[in-house]
Structure 1
Amino acid sequence: MANFDLAAMALKAVCPTNDILYDDKGLPSVMVKIPKFKISQVIPGGADSVHPAFIVNGQEVDAIYISKYQNIVNNNRAYSLPCEDPKTSVNLDQAISYCTQKGDGWHLMTRAEWAAIALWCKANGCLPKGNNNYGKDASEGGYKAIPAPGVNDSGRTARVLTGTGPVSWSHDGTLEGIWDLNGNIWEWNGGSRTVKGELQVLVNNNAADLDHSQAASSAQWKAIDATTGAYITPNGSGTTANSIKLDWVSGKITYSATITTQADASRDCAFASVTCASSVSAAAQAVLKALAFLPASATASEYEDDHMWMNNGADERAFFSGGSWYDGAHAGLFALLGTFPRSSSTWSLGFRSAYVDLPTE
């Protein structure tokens, strides 16, 4: 029996709902299957329609598969494996390439997919803890993970090995969950960005398909109409008429059809405080909530002290999520950082691959 077959048997014995998926080189990644669900199942009063993470190329998919662990890279391909020091110092385009080189259906985890997981966790009362305080969670003192060898932050623990923390660091609080979504390293999100403060995304979960380019000049990028919530073609300068933009009002990130305070600078607030101006309709707000760009409820404690950072003056800024080992209580599933360009590459920034069976005509 092949070693990979034995590994699959061992995984099923401990984590029966997890899967080992193989790329086009026949090499394994440990993945967590997330079955399709509706927005109304994760957002009270939400639409009775399928969450956008499960819509690719205009068709519904039955499930998405998310890397159980933050990824490593081997021969320019991404892999989800336990007890590894995750790959860092990787820019957005590299992260996309490491994922898509694995074959059809493999892709960088998208904003839609991250939002689906975050909303599911909140709806099920299971916001995971993680390495956001130098090897442990800021809210805990006695639980730690295995430090990555040779990596430290001024003598303190920095990154930890994937999946070595307590089960409270898993998205569902079990051994079968997705690990390290809170802290350890920030993770690039595909299919989302701002252009001079204008929010732009790829439609639904089209960023899961390599045929939909995420290049800076790609025509796949869409703005969101502040009145209807529809995807609209941006004008390229961040000033599309009536598109949703990120403004800064009274010390809070505020979505609006116009920007009153624009600056090429980092500004942040608690995610629970992120709000909308009157120019953003309920229909448009529903789109933002489904993508976890906007709180889906008014109960601040449900988002703990996760923070959102934005820059509404730069030409292009991409998003990454989750936080790092030094972000403390500001890290978490709803922590969102949108102040860095796609070329950013630091020792606290990595990524996670995902997989979907691409729909066929």
Structure 2
Amino acid sequence: MSDTYDTPDTRDMLDRTRQGVIGKPLDRPEGPLKVAGTATYAAEYARENCAEGVLVGATISTGRVRKINRDVVMAMPGVLGVYSSERMLRRAAQGTAGEAPEQDVSKVDFPMQPVALVVAETFEQATNAAKALDIEYEDQSGDAQFLPDAADAEPAADPIKAGDLDKAMRDAAHSVDLTFTTPGHASAAMEPHAAVAEWNGKDLTLWGSLQMLTYNVAELADSLGIDPKHVHLLSPYVGGGFGSKLGISHEAVAAAIAAKELGRPVRVVMSRQQVFQSIMRRSETEQRIRLGCGPDGRLTAFAHEALVSNLPGESFSEPVTQASEFLYAGENRLLAVRKSDITRLTAGSVRAPGEAVGMQALEVAMDELAEATG
């Protein structure tokens, strides 16, 4: 990938990768550093006079922030500031977004969404103050919907249809019509989401745990309203991501805003609970699979439908059927995914989007059809 966001390197991959390495016992260049504990991850960069920030999550499901009562917290030991900005992120960015996701944390989209950042001299002081911060809300939680509803779901994309599926199912010598459900998943990388931000005039340097730096530079710059040429993003090591670190997220933008206001470096590290509550989830699924075959076992009917969920305004939908399209034949077929809007954190890429939940259901259904045929 080139240094500029919109000019990708178009050379053939074979022309720009090292050759003659397949089958050879090669050490990973960063292996000894990681094993010895000397690889420096995002939160471990020691910047002089670095302050510590802790995010505060909303205690309502949906609504608006009416007032943040800062006075008590500002009088606590070591506290340097309480920040809640229209540029702070309500949601993490989807992979390859290249622009800011939803901003302005005065609006609450889901429970425990970050709505403020408390910064203090030490992590312990910031944590204590974050717990004490009093926030008043306009609570609209009565409008919240936490489970997907097929009645209000919309097609996530145009369905793939061919032939007459219903007739093929009626005429099939053997058939199955099965429904499967899978729970949501969360990425649990060893390294939590973390960022250290430092400004030098107009230039921002941010050490982060991120997977797609070219896009992330553009997303961070857009979130802050600055030119990407003023953003220097460093992420030499990522302690796991699984898709949860594809896009810029709350801690990076909040750290940059606070560092600018304070005129000193700021570190923000999410707790494990905060990662699970606010970064990215794999949608739960409800899948209906219909399979029909002739006496010889050859597929004549093939249907895979799924119901998934996401926040309102998010275009991503778990691509449950993407491998089904090319894995099996069946001239009479239907592949469709529908998305329901719910009041839970953003659904996005988690390791093996679509296949991880779609393939296990399809293969179980295929086993059931095999049983039915004998």
TM-score (norm 2): 0.23
User: Which has a greater percent of helix?
Assistant: 2
TM-score (norm 1): 0.23
Structure with greater Cα Rg: 2
